[in-house]
Structure 1
């Protein structure tokens, strides 16, 4: 992509987790022989992006610190598994300080345009970034460069669907990006539009704020699973382990050493869905989700292959209350134990279909769905909210990009670049079903840096990490976290071979890698981004995520899946050797 004489100057846009790690990764890859000049532009006056400016009271990360923190800069071992958003922003600022990134950032400098420069003689650079310099009273300035990393993220421009008659509501209407304090909901008749993690948080906060009534409306449904596995009861014994669920999927034969035919079929996802649904029924009496008795997805969309897990489960006791049924195995002592404060409350959150319209009296008319029990219950209810919160997500807008440039939807090479413009990267524009975006951005930053420095070839093999989305669905950028991380690591040479790993770092690190989840640190044990800190982190902090599972946990979450998928992958390999599985064609 770039020869030994080509100068590299990069503009990084956005100072959230993706922008910061992209800046740091590029800087570390710079050498006297191949210097890389990098400048980061951020519209706001501080670091943190969405975690700083779209945060709200009592918000916590739903991904664990083990997964979310950067590969070579960790939180203290005694910090909680799931930290608050302010704590995470403080962590990002510490990252900036630790690696000396601040002098290379331009805060308060909003990018207003990115356009190509004419290919005139003597023109050294390809792109011109225009921005308003907040440190100079908003003066318009420019920055010319060879490469651009767009790290503005998925959660910037609110998506607000039109609801006929919304003007008839007598009260406050706002998007969740403007929700900040629990007191905004006190005494209100609250209608929440959407059923994602923010919607769940706000529903819970509304109950705790003593809202007059709370209703959550959504079109399809959700898959609820707590961010930490705990509170279920088996044979009368309550499990309180609190294991973060994003660290339970093992690497060997599920992520690493997966035959391409097995990866293409998504067999691993469908098998795990089959098993998980039956385990959920055994533990909580329902297959819809962990202790989920309302809002279940249709069977053809329920599972790892299709959806983003909703890991904000605090509101579930209140959503379940009108619908919860006795566990069929309650006589064995099986069930789910809600927190006492929630179990003893007499409040609830109503759910229903999305509003069809709001009549002239301010009453919500919900879309008719006779197959939904919550619609049958509320179809004649008099619901007149005086506070509506749009928890309807965000949309991607790149109005400041020249029309000749690709956008994130055009980045079909590993969801990072367009084949026509490998000099423009989109970092952080995928969403994992289970996992977190920040570690994905670090992996993407390494991938693109390797490409920029010609340390790898542009891949041409088809990807098998995308979640299965219906044609026309608004979100087409869902990925399976572990499959995506492994794919990128294989591309840039960071996926460790088992024998190489054993010889280089010993048996303990090898076992931690096999039984562990797709932590970025694993992909820095060898390869072009090898880190001196990685072996120590793997053998301590990441090893602890495995030992705390206990013998039974490692049997059911580790050994049994490895043996099963190892057998399945072995059969696929044998069929390929026998010529019964055709070789996969590359794609441009």
Structure 2
């Protein structure tokens, strides 16, 4: 991986971006792409001097993956069983480097190389439909030497969701006229360690996972005061099921929550009416809320007593779960109201707090900073009226950390290209107008991980651009039910999206097919497992010899960790319940189809996802 090697002037596949999505796209282009002539090999270009993307360049001290290793790893290159369930970001970056070296794709990677523009050439020849202009850059991204032009047959854009900071304009803080006593401010992309927070009064704006991390790090750094600015609320849930005390017994199951949803009748063999109605999501949210109340005394989140969303949007069907929960005990302190009787029955156990019993005050987003550098707030939404620190206390921070996310910049794309995945009508990956350009790694799961989704998206893009499968036509039932006014509209349900892609690709395992080829054990693990990417390498066009061994060892170990009761409550009961719902829908549909011509009734709707439908692979 070097910027010293010369770039080819033609390439069969140009991958733009060196994060997980870029690496897996390059690996598939090398392994499963068309044969190429010398000097036309697939290449990946990355503007930074090392690969790793967000995990390498926008990480910070003590940051860990919020998705489990079991779900985050690629299908055929796994973490060892002895590794932590949620590795640190440096550890995951090392995993990505090991992945590149293991599959021999490092020679195809060119770092310190930035794409300046991408356009359609005026006179494309021999299938080279794209002209990319690149520049070598120094560590500060300043251009070196002359521009380089490369012709490409296929382009895969994997620049990611977290590149250009989204910086809101706040009068008196970062707009003119600036308050003479305005506090220092940084975007979270510039936050690296606790030393930046030590001894300061810190206002964190944004209650996503990064905001919650920074709030916790502020407490642990010994900040004098910590405020957390929240717009509409958040849904807190720890990334590991642990620390519940029930009837005198402490549950320390160490179960990552993103691997608990089972496949059978929840993701596979789901009737089209059930899929489009999102019935599973609503029932799941209904049950989880009641279980949370029993275990923690509140339904707003897991042991979440402040910063809640409006009741009608408290559920994973609507928002991304915030799995950075370490700061919650400090946010909860003024609001915690669990009765002694309830606590005797069940409660959540917080880790021991620092000796000074610090707290984090919830405040709204400031509308401005006054001449003294004090934050002036808009009132919070009505459903959070109990949070009054913004009324009763002065908020005059030394440092404001904008944990306000990122946005995408598509100015470098020429005329005729989709401006991001929102303009891609095929699963948010590519446009039917041009299957030779795709966007990989740009959807975000509510509970799950982007890297395995990127792997499946790459598989879909390759098959479509090679014309080995038809363009999918089944409806998109996987989008989260975001508010229409939400800035982010790219959320998906991880398991539903993975299942949909697998059907498009032709790698969704049929139950009889699994039993016939692999036997009862693999079939059992598949039914009880979550949407692990390895399941979609057991069959189909990207079938892997490694898949069976991974399923029978690592994934089986993950299911075993739930224990007998866990698999009954999180596996058998949901499967049985959803089996009844899906079979009932199937029988109603068949009865309707039979009765419609006899009684002159309209036919039932048939433009929805087909049960167990699978794309047929054409020969290459």
TM-score (norm 2): 0.90
Task: Please give the alpha-carbon distance, in whole angstroms, between the structure 2 residues aligned to 1:126 and 1:331.
Answer: 65
The answer to whether the Cα contact below 8 Å between 2:266 and 2:575 also exists between their aligned partners in 1 is yes
Asked if residue 360 in structure 1 is aligned to residue 371 in structure 2, the reply is yes
Structure 2 CA distance for partners of 1:212 and 1:374, relative to 1, 3 Å: farther
Asked if residue 160 in structure 1 is aligned to residue 167 in structure 2, the reply is yes
The answer to whether the Cα contact below 8 Å between 1:406 and 1:421 also exists between their aligned partners in 2 is no
Task: Please give the alpha-carbon distance, in whole angstroms, between the structure 2 residues aligned to 1:154 and 1:176.
Answer: 14
Aligned to 2:458: 445
SS for the counterpart of 2:435 is coil
CA shift, 1:236, in A, is: 1.5
SS for the counterpart of 1:379 is helix
Matches within 5 A, 1:177-196: 177-196=189-208
SS for the counterpart of 2:41 is strand
Asked if residue 26 in structure 1 is aligned to residue 29 in structure 2, the reply is yes
Structure 2 CA distance for partners of 1:585 and 1:556, relative to 1, 3 Å: closer
The answer to whether the Cα contact below 8 Å between 2:309 and 2:383 also exists between their aligned partners in 1 is no
- 1:317-339: CA deviation from partner (whole Å, max 9, x where unpaired): 11111111124643543101001
Matches within 5 A, 1:230-379: 230-327=242-339, 329-330=341-342, 332-341=344-353, 345-369=356-380, 371-373=383-385, 375-379=387-391
The answer to whether the Cα contact below 8 Å between 1:13 and 1:152 also exists between their aligned partners in 2 is yes
The answer to whether the Cα contact below 8 Å between 2:13 and 2:154 also exists between their aligned partners in 1 is yes
CA shift, 1:37, in A, is: 3.5
Asked if residue 222 in structure 1 is aligned to residue 234 in structure 2, the reply is yes
Task: Please give the alpha-carbon distance, in whole angstroms, between the structure 1 residues aligned to 2:154 and 2:232.
Answer: 41
Aligned to 1:460: 473
Asked if residue 125 in structure 1 is aligned to residue 128 in structure 2, the reply is yes
SS for the counterpart of 1:268 is helix
Task: Please give the alpha-carbon distance, in whole angstroms, between the structure 2 residues aligned to 1:380 and 1:359.
Answer: 17
Task: Please give the alpha-carbon distance, in whole angstroms, between the structure 1 residues aligned to 2:337 and 2:590.
Answer: 52
Aligned to 2:600: none
CA shift, 1:79, in A, is: 0.6
CA shift, 1:375, in A, is: 4.0
Task: Please give the alpha-carbon distance, in whole angstroms, between the structure 1 residues aligned to 2:344 and 2:78.
Answer: 43
The answer to whether the Cα contact below 8 Å between 1:282 and 1:329 also exists between their aligned partners in 2 is no
Asked if residue 201 in structure 1 is aligned to residue 213 in structure 2, the reply is yes
SS for the counterpart of 2:116 is strand
CA shift, 1:230, in A, is: 0.3
Match of 1:143 among 125, 150, 153: 150
Asked if residue 10 in structure 1 is aligned to residue 23 in structure 2, the reply is no
The answer to whether the Cα contact below 8 Å between 2:182 and 2:369 also exists between their aligned partners in 1 is no
Task: Please give the alpha-carbon distance, in whole angstroms, between the structure 2 residues aligned to 1:358 and 1:380.
Answer: 17
- 1:163-215: CA deviation from partner (whole Å, max 9, x where unpaired): 12213254321100000011000111100000000000000000011001000
The answer to whether the Cα contact below 8 Å between 1:127 and 1:146 also exists between their aligned partners in 2 is yes
CA shift, 1:124, in A, is: 4.4
Aligned to 2:115: 111
The answer to whether the Cα contact below 8 Å between 1:118 and 1:126 also exists between their aligned partners in 2 is no
Aligned to 2:44: 40
Aligned to 1:4: none
SS for the counterpart of 1:461 is coil
The answer to whether the Cα contact below 8 Å between 2:182 and 2:372 also exists between their aligned partners in 1 is no
State the aligned residue count. 578
Asked if residue 479 in structure 1 is aligned to residue 476 in structure 2, the reply is no
The answer to whether the Cα contact below 8 Å between 1:64 and 1:82 also exists between their aligned partners in 2 is yes
CA shift, 1:30, in A, is: 3.4
CA shift, 1:118, in A, is: 1.2
Structure 2 CA distance for partners of 1:50 and 1:576, relative to 1, 3 Å: same
The answer to whether the Cα contact below 8 Å between 1:368 and 1:375 also exists between their aligned partners in 2 is no
The answer to whether the Cα contact below 8 Å between 1:59 and 1:84 also exists between their aligned partners in 2 is yes
Matches within 5 A, 1:484-523: 484-523=497-536
Task: Please give the alpha-carbon distance, in whole angstroms, between the structure 1 residues aligned to 2:473 and 2:485.
Answer: 26
Aligned to 1:430: 443
- 1:434-478: CA deviation from partner (whole Å, max 9, x where unpaired): 001111111111111111222211112211000011223211111
Structure 2 CA distance for partners of 1:33 and 1:500, relative to 1, 3 Å: farther
- Show structure 2 runs of 5+ residues with no match: 1-9, 594-603, 610-620
Task: Please give the alpha-carbon distance, in whole angstroms, between the structure 1 residues aligned to 2:557 and 2:343.
Answer: 35
Aligned to 1:575: 588
Task: Please give the alpha-carbon distance, in whole angstroms, between the structure 2 residues aligned to 1:346 and 1:20.
Answer: 45
Aligned to 2:424: 411
Task: Please give the alpha-carbon distance, in whole angstroms, between the structure 1 residues aligned to 2:215 and 2:319.
Answer: 21
CA shift, 1:493, in A, is: 0.5
Task: Please give the alpha-carbon distance, in whole angstroms, between the structure 2 residues aligned to 1:79 and 1:141.
Answer: 42
The answer to whether the Cα contact below 8 Å between 2:361 and 2:389 also exists between their aligned partners in 1 is no
Moved more, 551-560 or 135-144: 135-144
The answer to whether the Cα contact below 8 Å between 1:232 and 1:337 also exists between their aligned partners in 2 is yes
The answer to whether the Cα contact below 8 Å between 2:134 and 2:149 also exists between their aligned partners in 1 is yes
Task: Please give the alpha-carbon distance, in whole angstroms, between the structure 1 residues aligned to 2:398 and 2:82.
Answer: 44
The answer to whether the Cα contact below 8 Å between 1:285 and 1:328 also exists between their aligned partners in 2 is no
Alpha-carbon RMSD across the aligned residues, in angstroms, is: 1.8
The answer to whether the Cα contact below 8 Å between 2:203 and 2:400 also exists between their aligned partners in 1 is yes
Matches within 5 A, 1:41-56: 41-56=45-60
Task: Please give the alpha-carbon distance, in whole angstroms, between the structure 2 residues aligned to 1:326 and 1:300.
Answer: 23
Extract structure 1 runs of 4+ deviating beyond 4 A.
Answer: 31-36
CA shift, 1:366, in A, is: 1.1
SS for the counterpart of 1:111 is strand
Match of 1:60 among 58, 64, 67: 64
The answer to whether the Cα contact below 8 Å between 1:352 and 1:374 also exists between their aligned partners in 2 is no
The answer to whether the Cα contact below 8 Å between 1:353 and 1:375 also exists between their aligned partners in 2 is no
Task: Please give the alpha-carbon distance, in whole angstroms, between the structure 1 residues aligned to 2:533 and 2:579.
Answer: 23
Task: Please give the alpha-carbon distance, in whole angstroms, between the structure 2 residues aligned to 1:454 and 1:421.
Answer: 12
Asked if residue 397 in structure 1 is aligned to residue 401 in structure 2, the reply is no
